[in-house]
């Protein structure tokens, strides 16, 4: 069975390359996209082809690397040495799977100095997880969640600490019964 191919597949790769070239700013060995950017602020360049919106890095990976635009398990990912979402130099891209995509996002968080929430990504402000998470936001979520259940002070505690306290409190209640 033939799956429906997107209109892009019908446009020659050469003409797509020429289109990308029109909005290309060379910055060192990066090719930065000078055209439109994603409104959802993912930071990727976007291009309209046949009325459909595509990530510029995806179109570049299609035209230069042979990415299959109809295969949703194929992602155009930036190599660690680039990680500039506006860059579409095919030498800075590779084709990865869904798993690679998750790993890639984890790597970006690990490599940046701030979490997406804007809080600093320091050892003091991190939860040991993979990828690490923001402690301030984690505490806020936990405090909101446990607010009604705990009579404790407003000292910021980790979820584990709150659960542990709760456990000992219940145990004590049991013993005093």
Query: Where along the sequence are the contacts to Zn ion (CB under 5 A)?
Result: 30, 82, 84, 87, 89, 92, 117, 119, 134, 136-137
How many residues are present in the chain?
Answer: 177
Between CA 4 and CA 54, with CA 98 as vertex, the angle to 5 degrees is 50
Q: 16 or 134, CB closer to Zn ion?
A: 134
Cβ of residue 26: shortest distance to Zn ion, in angstroms?
11
Q: 6 or 143, CB closer to Zn ion?
A: 143
Q: 74 or 125, CB closer to Zn ion?
A: 125
Rounded to a whole number of angstroms, the CA Rg of the chain reads 23
Cβ of residue 142: shortest distance to Zn ion, in angstroms?
13
Question: Are the CB atoms for 144 and 126 separated by under 8 Å?
Answer: no
CA distance 90 to 108: 19
């Amino acid at each position: 069975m033939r799956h429906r191919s997107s209109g892009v597949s019908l446009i020659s790769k050469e003409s797509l390359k020429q289109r990308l070239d029109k909005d290309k700013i060379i910055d060192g060995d990066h090719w930065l996209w000078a055209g439109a950017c994603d409104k959802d602020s993912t930071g990727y360049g976007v291009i309209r082809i046949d009325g459909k919106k595509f990530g510029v890095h995806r179109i570049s990976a299609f035209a230069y690397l042979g990415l299959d635009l109809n295969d949703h398990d194929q992602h155009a990912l930036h190599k660690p040495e680039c990680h500039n979402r506006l860059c579409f130099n095919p030498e800075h891209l590779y084709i990865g799977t869904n798993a690679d995509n998750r790993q890639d996002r984890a790597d970006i968080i690990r490599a940046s100095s701030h979490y997406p929430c804007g809080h600093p990504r320091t050892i003091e402000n991190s939860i040991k997880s993979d990828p690490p998470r923001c402690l301030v936001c984690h505490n806020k979520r936990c405090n909101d969640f446990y607010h009604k259940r705990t009579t404790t002070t407003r000292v910021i505690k980790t979820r584990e600490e709150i659960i542990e306290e709760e456990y000992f409190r219940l145990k004590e209640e049991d013993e005093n019964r």
